[in-house]
Amino acid sequence: MVAPVKTKDVEKDKRKVLLSITDLHVWFELRRFGFSNAGHVKAVDGVTFDVHQGETIAVVGESGCGKSSLMKTILALYKPTTGKVVFEDLDLAELDGKGLHTYHSLVGYVQQDPYGALPPFMNVRKILEEPLIVNGVKSKEERDQRIRKSMEEVKLTPVEDFLEKFPHMLSGGQQQRVVIARAMIMGPKFLVADEPVSMLDASVRVEILKLLRGLQETHNLSVIYITHDLSTVSYFSERIFVMYAGNLVEKANVRQVLDHPLHPYTMALLTGTSEPDARNAETFKELPPGEPPSLVNPPTGCRFHPRCSKAIQGLCEVKEPPDFEPEPGHLVACWLYQ
Amino acid sequence: MPQNNKLLRIEELVLHFNTTHGPVQAVDGVNFELASNRAVVILGESGCGKSSLAKAILRLLPRNAGKYSGRVYLDGRDVMLLTDEEFRQDIRWASISMVPQAAMNALNPVIRVGEQVAEPAIVHLGVDKKEALSLVRKMFQHVGVPDDFISRYPFELSGGMRQRVAIAMALVTSPILIILDEPTSALDVLTQANIFNVLKRLKKELGISFILITHDIATSSELADDVAIMYAGQIVEVSDAYRFFDKPLHPYSQKLMASVPRLHGTKEPEFITGRPPSLIDLPKGCRFADRCPARFEKCVEDPPVVEKDERKVKCWLYS
Q: Where is A270: in which H helix or E strand?
A: helix A264-272
CB contact under 8 A, A284 and B200: yes
**Per-residue pLDDT reduced to its tens digit, B271-292:** 888 888 999 999 989 999 999 9
What local confidence, expressed as pLDDT, does residue A62 receive? Answer: 87
What local confidence, expressed as pLDDT, does residue A38 receive? Answer: 78
* Weakest-pLDDT range from A60-64, B27-31, B165-169: A60-64
Q: Where is A44: in which H helix or E strand?
A: strand A36-52
Calculate mean pLDDT across residues B210-236: 94
CB contact under 8 A, A276 and B257: yes
Interface residue A273 vs chain B (CB under 8 A) = yes
CB-based contacts of A102: which residues, under 8 Å, 6+ apart?
none
Q: Hey, is A279 helix, strand or coil? A: helix
Distance (Å, rounded) from C-alpha B313 to C-alpha A235? 32
Residues of B whose CB is below 8 A from A210: 271
CB contact under 8 A, A231 and B215: no
Distance (Å, rounded) from C-alpha A146 to C-alpha A275? 41
Interface contacts (A, B; CB < 8 Å): 120
Q: Hey, is A291 helix, strand or coil? A: coil
User: How many angstroms separate the CA of residue B108 from the nearest CA in chain A?
Assistant: 23
What local confidence, expressed as pLDDT, does residue A228 receive? Answer: 86
- Per residue, the 3-state secondary structure of chain B, as one string, reads CCCCCEEEEEEEEEEEECCCCCCEEEEEEEEEEEECCCEEEEECCCCCCHHHHHHHHHCCCCCCEEEEEEEEEECCEEHHHCCHHHHHHHHECCCEEEECCCHHHCCCCCCCHHHHHHHHHHHHHCCCHHHHHHHHHHHHHHHCCCHHHHHCCHHHCCHHHHHHHHHHHHHCCCCCEEEEECCCCCCCHHHHHHHHHHHHHHHHHHCCEEEEEECCHHHHCCCCCEEEEEECCEEEEEEEHHHHHHCCCCHHHHHHHHCCCCCCCCCCCCCCCCCCCCCCCCCCCCCCHHHCCCCCHHHHCCCCEEEECCEEEECHHHC
What local confidence, expressed as pLDDT, does residue A1 receive? Answer: 38
Distance (Å, rounded) from C-alpha B284 to C-alpha A81? 62
B223: nearest Cα among B167, B169, B172: B167
> Which amino acid type is present at position A302?
C
0.80 cut: is pTM over it? yes
Name which of B45, B242, B263 is nearest A270 (Cβ-Cβ): B263
What local confidence, expressed as pLDDT, does residue A330 receive? Answer: 95
Residue A176 CB neighbour total at 10 angstroms:
30
Q: For residue B228, name the pLDDT band (cuts at 50, 70, 90).
A: very high
Calculate mean pLDDT across residues B37-63: 92
Name which of B158, B221, B255 is nearest A291 (Cβ-Cβ): B158
Q: Hey, is A140 helix, strand or coil? A: helix
B208: nearest Cα among B241, B184, B174: B174
What local confidence, expressed as pLDDT, does residue A121 receive? Answer: 95
Asked if A254 and A233 touch (Cβ cutoff 8 Å), the reply is yes
Q: Hey, is A168 helix, strand or coil? A: helix
By CA distance, what is A254's nearest residue in B?
A: B263
What local confidence, expressed as pLDDT, does residue A266 receive? Answer: 95
What local confidence, expressed as pLDDT, does residue B18 receive? Answer: 94
Whole-angstrom CA distances from B221 to A104, A313, B194, B196 are: 43, 38, 14, 10
Asked if A164 and A182 touch (Cβ cutoff 8 Å), the reply is no
Distance (Å, rounded) from C-alpha A243 to C-alpha A253? 15
Residue B150 CB neighbour total at 10 angstroms:
18
What local confidence, expressed as pLDDT, does residue A281 receive? Answer: 92
Interface residue A274 vs chain B (CB under 8 A) = yes
A254: nearest Cα among A4, A19, A59, A54: A59
User: How many angstroms separate the CA of residue A187 from the nearest CA in chain B?
Assistant: 27
Q: State the alpha helices, DSSP H only, in A202-263.
A: 202-219, 254-259
Asked if B70 and B77 touch (Cβ cutoff 8 Å), the reply is no
CB contact under 8 A, A281 and B190: no
Calculate mean pLDDT across residues B128-153: 93
**Chain-wide mean pLDDT for chain B?**
92
Residue percentage of chain B with pLDDT more than 70: 98
Q: Where is A253: in which H helix or E strand?
A: strand A247-253
Calculate mean pLDDT across residues B79-101: 93
Name which of B241, B262, B272 is nearest A281 (Cβ-Cβ): B241
User: How many angstroms separate the CA of residue B60 from the nearest CA in chain A?
Assistant: 25
Q: Residue-wise over A42-73: b if at least 16 C-beta within 10 A, else e?
A: bbbbbbbbbbbbbbbbbbbbbebbbbbbbbbb
The dihedral region occupied by B47, where left means phi > 0, alpha psi between -120 and 50, and beta the remainder, is left
Pick from A198, A234, A274, A304 the residue to mutate for testing the B interface (most B CBs within 10 Å).
A274
By CA distance, what is A280's nearest residue in B?
A: B222
Residues of A whose CB is below 8 A from B37: none
User: How many angstroms separate the CA of residue A33 from the nearest CA in chain B?
Assistant: 20
Calculate mean pLDDT across residues B282-305: 92
What local confidence, expressed as pLDDT, does residue A5 receive? Answer: 40
CB contact under 8 A, A231 and B257: no
Interface residue A285 vs chain B (CB under 8 A) = yes
CB contact under 8 A, A231 and B218: yes
Interface residue A270 vs chain B (CB under 8 A) = yes
Interface residue A171 vs chain B (CB under 8 A) = yes
CB contact under 8 A, A229 and B264: no
What local confidence, expressed as pLDDT, does residue A14 receive? Answer: 56
In chain A, which stretches have pLDDT less than 50?
1-12
CB contact under 8 A, B189 and A171: no
Q: For residue B225, name the pLDDT band (cuts at 50, 70, 90).
A: very high
Quote the Cα angle for A11-A16-A17, to 5°: 95
Whole-angstrom CA distances from A220 to A102, A154, A188 are: 20, 16, 10
Distance (Å, rounded) from C-alpha B194 to C-alpha B134? 24
